[in-house]
Amino acid sequence: MDRKTKEQVVSELQEKLKQAKLGVLTTFNAMNVEKMESLRNALRKNDAELKVVKNTLLGIASKDTDFAVLSDHFKWPVAVVLSYKDPVAPSKALIEFAKKNPELEIKVGVLDGKMLTKPDITALAELPSKEILLGKLVSVMAAVPTSFVTVLSGVPRSLVQVLNAYCEKKKTLN
């Protein structure tokens, strides 16, 4: 690879690293092309991509990005998984694929500038999907006004009950 090509690869990779919300470093020793394509397809379905990059180019591209915290881990042949939207779905896909294919090893990751260990990535994968979390949020938000109306209607209801009881008492006295 000549110098101009390397510079282009570094600039493109740096842009992708700046846009990514989640990044995971993996090793892929002894993985055949079929399995790599299967992994790439699973990640594409979840708005993520897999990049195999030379460590030196990745080190240069990661400067001035959130991925700089991972620079100590650019030691082995790595593949970088980048997610640009929801970090949970690609994590799930990656963990499931790694369970079925032991030659894929998840090393470390980064989420919003914070380094993630393999257990952290596994915990991230166990979170509910974005749609489920949004559904729970909507149900909580709908419950608050309903409870508020119930509390507010309690005062007039109590007043009506007191007035009704007073009327009944007056009727029995007459």
Per-residue pLDDT, 125: 86
CA angle (124, 125, 127) in 5-degree steps: 70
Locate the DSSP E strands across 9-164: 22-27, 48-53, 78-83, 105-111, 114-116
Per-residue pLDDT, 130: 75
Rounded-to-integer distance, Cα 173 and Cα 109, Å:
81
The pTM assigned to this predicted structure is 0.70
Torsion of CA 111, 62, 106, 116, to 10 degrees: -30
> Could you report the average pLDDT of every consecutive run of 10 residues in the chain (174 residues)?
83 86 86 88 88 86 84 82 87 90 88 87 84 83 76 80 86 79
Give the CA distances from residue 125 to residues 44, 120, 121, in Å, rounded to whole numbers and listed in that order.
Answer: 16, 9, 6
Place of tokens 């790694």: 98
- Whether residue 90 contacts residue 83, with contact meaning beta carbons closer than 8 Å, is answered with yes
Best CA proximity match to 83, nearest among 61, 119, 111, 64: 111
- Counted residue by residue, the chain has a size of 174
Q: Please provide the distance, in angstroms rounded to a whole number, between the alpha carbons at the two ends of the chain.
A: 106
Per-residue pLDDT, 151: 78
Give the CA distances from residue 91 to residues 23, 42, 58, 61, 96, in Å, rounded to whole numbers and listed in that order.
Answer: 10, 11, 21, 23, 9
Per-residue pLDDT, 129: 75
Best CA proximity match to 8, nearest among 45, 50, 48, 61: 61
- The interaxial angle of helices 88-100 and 118-125, nearest 10 deg, is 110
